Structure 1
Amino acid sequence: MEHQQLVETTSNYPSSSSSSSSMKSNDVKSFKFPLTIWEMMGASGVVFGFAVGFIGVYLSLPDSDYSFLKLPRTLEDLRLLRDDLEQYTSDYTIQVLLAYCTVYIFMQTFMIPGSVFMSLLAGSLFGVLKGVAIVVFAATAGASSCYFLSNLIGRPLILSLCPEKLVFFQNQVAKRESRLLNYMLFLRVTPTLPNTFINVASPIVNVPYHTFFLATSIGVVPVAYVAVRAGTTLGELRSVGDLYDIQSIGILFFVGLASVIPTLISNKTKS
């Protein structure tokens, strides 16, 4: 019943196809911002919390020039950041680790692109085993933070921005309720739906948090391993596309296949 209500609700938002024509005929001034004052205050509280965290981490670091600190957008930016951070990582491991996790979780919470560069950085600074553990923790925590923030303010926003994609996701979840964990695992290791969309939409289509958490913490391991392993040889990378060699694609393919085998077997048994 809740799934059906969600489908019907999409027609009440301006971005849906049925309402776009009526929006053109109405006065633009009649459009209302989709968030209430309380929802905006809640989101502002989350931003404030991250700001306090960043300030705390910054104050815990030794006095120095940190003008080199910025989110990397290219491999060259990443190499420069790695070179500057290496001297701090050995002497201030805890502080660098806290700063890294805070930034990664912040990026995941607010859907800021660039997590692949952060995963490469983890491999370069911490090695494969520690790097994978750190990335899996930060990615799961960031996705969970996005999940709960979306549960607070996400419904009106995502219904306004992409109702059709949300309805598609809702229908797929409804059809796979008995094997939802397998489906969510499949989504995490394949490009069927963007991870940012999954984080935001999951609470809206009633994916239980424990299922979301398990699928995220397990599903990001293969992708994290591929990126972190590549980060250990950062100097040899020429583009982000070099991450996905034959071996890496094979790993992701077999993990994705393994995640849907139980569902395929179940469907065959029923038929």
Structure 2
Amino acid sequence: MPRPSSLLVVRDNHQSCSASMYTLDTVDYRDDAEHEPLLTPATPDYGATVPRSPGVPSSRRIILNATLKMACIFIVSTALLGGTLWLALPKLEESDRPMLRIPKSFQQLQDLNFLLKKYRDIYPFRIFVCYVTTYLFLQAFSLPGSMYLSILGGAVWGVARALPLACCCVATGASLSYLISSALGPALLTLPKWKAVLDKWADKISANKENMISFLIVLRIAPLPPHWVVNIVCPHVGIGLVPFWISTALGILGRG
């Protein structure tokens, strides 16, 4: 018959083994828990859906930056136009001031024609500078009124001098629009609709690559597409500034 002390030793050994088994079971269970994923499909993502590459701005941010830059360019250009007109225009009589405006109707065009003829004989160089500056501003931002200025130039200087002047003004103003689009237009490539338009025109230009100048002249003579579309698209489809200027001037000459 075993001694009581031996029973105590066996019992203690049994309890130690049970405690050890319990401890191992606990560790094994916790190890399995550590191998489980921390995020399951039921775990909320708190708005983090698609990770973005660091340093790559979103399409909306690119368009916003381009819009702000375009607004700054327009404000600065408007200030330069206003400053040029303020410095170059001769001092007008009080009765002539209401007639000095960008013409938007035939009556306003007649009034401006009378005013320019009156001051042309007195200040020929100042009138020329104001006319060219206003024409370039309208063309650069595709604003209405350039057609009236072309007619007005013919009435003031005659068709023989006004037509080449108008061609140069249109080509130079369109080139300014070309440069603005070249700098800020890549933001439009983030929009699928504009990218599809550019791809379409790129295919057309590639098909007429051997007769590029003739193709661009036809675009200027034809009523469609609008000239502002051509100005915006051309820098992004591989057309250089020099052929763009030449084709624009010849196209306007052909229309005149």
Q: Which runs of 5+ in 1 are unaligned?
A: 1-29, 226-271
Which residue number corresponds to residue 200 of structure 1? Answer: 232
Which residue number corresponds to residue 84 of structure 1? Answer: 115
Matched, 1:97 2:97: no
Per-residue displacement from partner, 1:125-150 (whole Å, max 9, x unpaired)?
Answer: 11011111210111111011000011
Q: Report the Cα distance in structure 2 between the residues aligned to 1:163 and 1:73, rounded to whole angstroms.
A: 34
Q: Report the Cα distance in structure 1 between the residues aligned to 2:152 and 2:190, rounded to whole angstroms.
A: 35
Which residue number corresponds to residue 14 of structure 1? Answer: none
Q: Report the Cα distance in structure 2 between the residues aligned to 1:182 and 1:159, rounded to whole angstroms.
A: 31
Aligned partner of 2:60: which letter? K
Matched, 1:135 2:166: yes
Match of 1:55 among 79, 83, 94: 83
Match of 2:150 among 97, 101, 119: 119
Aligned partner of 1:122: which letter? G
8 Å Cα contact 1:159-1:166 kept in structure 2: no
Aligned partner of 1:210: which letter? V
Shift in Å at residue 173 of structure 1? Answer: 0.7
Q: Report the Cα distance in structure 2 between the residues aligned to 1:183 and 1:141, rounded to whole angstroms.
A: 19
Q: Report the Cα distance in structure 2 between the residues aligned to 1:60 and 1:214, rounded to whole angstroms.
A: 29
Q: 1:171 to 1:33 in 2, by over 3 A?
A: same
Aligned partner of 1:90: which letter? D
Q: Which runs of 5+ in 2 are unaligned?
A: 1-57
Match of 2:72 among 20, 34, 44: 44
TM-score of the aligned structures, taking structure 2 as reference length: 0.68
TM-score of the aligned structures, taking structure 1 as reference length: 0.65
Aligned partner of 1:145: which letter? L
Shift in Å at residue 105 of structure 1? Answer: 0.7
Shift in Å at residue 179 of structure 1? Answer: 1.6
Identity, in percent, stands at: 23
Please list, as runs of the form range in 1=range in 2, the aligned pairs for 1:1-271 lying within 5 A after superposition: 32=60, 34-35=62-63, 37=65, 40-41=68-69, 44-45=72-73, 47-64=75-92, 65=94, 66-157=97-188, 160=191, 162-223=194-255, 225=256
Matched length = 195
8 Å Cα contact 2:81-2:134 kept in structure 1: no
Aligned partner of 1:173: which letter? I
Aligned partner of 1:119: which letter? S
Shift in Å at residue 36 of structure 1? Answer: 5.4
The range that moved more, 205-214 or 49-58, is 49-58
In our comparison, the structure showing a higher alpha carbon Rg is 2
Shift in Å at residue 96 of structure 1? Answer: 0.9
Aligned partner of 2:108: which letter? D
**More contact order relative to length (CA 8 Å, sep ≥ 6):** 1
8 Å Cα contact 1:119-1:135 kept in structure 2: yes
RMSD over equivalenced CA pairs, Å: 2.4
